[in-house]
Amino acid sequence: MKKLTKKIAKRLAKKYLFKKNLDPYHFIHTAKVVQAVKIISKDKKVDKNLLEICAWIHDIGYSLDNSPNNDPGHAENSLKLLKNEGYKVTEKIKDCILNHGSKGRPKTKEGKILQIAVKFNIIDKDFLKYLIEEKAGGKEIKFLKKRTSDAVKMLKRLKSLKF
């Protein structure tokens, strides 16, 4: 089994998230999640290397679905892609990837930070620019409203975490 590194994780994100059928939002989101995990984990005693790796690969599973912008199984698909590529998937990586959504219940500190970072990327100039340039309609506005609400919930969760 091959070992994942930050460089490899970023390469995998580019490989899988720049597919023709995927909305460019996924790579923008992923890059912003990487920035967010760096900020959130800065003064925390956590595996920052693992966090950055998981931030890069958490959504690569969207590339396997026929409706890639709305796939509830994308986390499992992300792990499947890693295994198919021959990479070792540790329990911490599984925890981070499988629990990064709003309904996830991460067990590790790293999983909790990734989950929070995933929601915080909504408050970002590149994402807002994407929405404006793509002439966001009702569906996108509903998505933005939900993500903003999730971000506020995650902020409360972040303040309560003790590391």
Domain of 24, CATH number, reads 1.10.3210.10
Q: What percentage of the chain carries pLDDT values higher than 90?
A: 47
Q: What is the pLDDT of residue 128?
A: 63
In a domain, 85, yes or no: yes
Q: For 87, phi and psi rounded to 5 degrees? A: -95, 145
pLDDT (average), residues 37-51: 92
88 CB-contact burial (10 Å; exposed 0-12 / middle 13-18 / buried 19+): exposed
Mean pLDDT is highest, among 42-46, 78-82, 101-105, for 78-82
pLDDT (average), residues 117-140: 69
In a domain, 141, yes or no: yes
Q: What is the pLDDT of residues 64-85, one digit of tens each?
A: 865 555 667 889 999 999 999 9
User: What 3-state DSSP class applies to 2?
Assistant: strand
* pTM for the whole structure: 0.81
Indicate the pLDDT class of residue 52, thresholds 50, 70 and 90.
Answer: very high
pLDDT (average), residues 96-120: 90
**CA 56 to CA 29: how far, in whole Å?**
10
pLDDT (average), residues 40-51: 93
| 68 vs 129: which has the higher pLDDT | 129
> How far out from the chain centre does Cα 71 lie?
13
Q: What is the pLDDT of residue 18?
A: 87
DSSP H helical ranges for 42-89:
48-57, 74-84
In a domain, 1, yes or no: no
The number of helix segments (H) and strand segments (E) in the chain equals 8, 0
In a domain, 110, yes or no: yes
**Selection from 109, 111, 107, 103 nearest residue 150 by Cα:** 103
Domain that includes residue 71, residue range = 6-160
Q: In the predicted model, what is the mean pLDDT of the chain?
A: 84
The structure tokens 């996924």 sit at 26
- Maximum C-alpha span of the chain: 45
How many domains does the chain divide into? 1
Q: What is the pLDDT of residue 66?
A: 55
By residue count, the chain amounts to 163
The 10 Å Cβ neighbour count of residue 42 is: 8
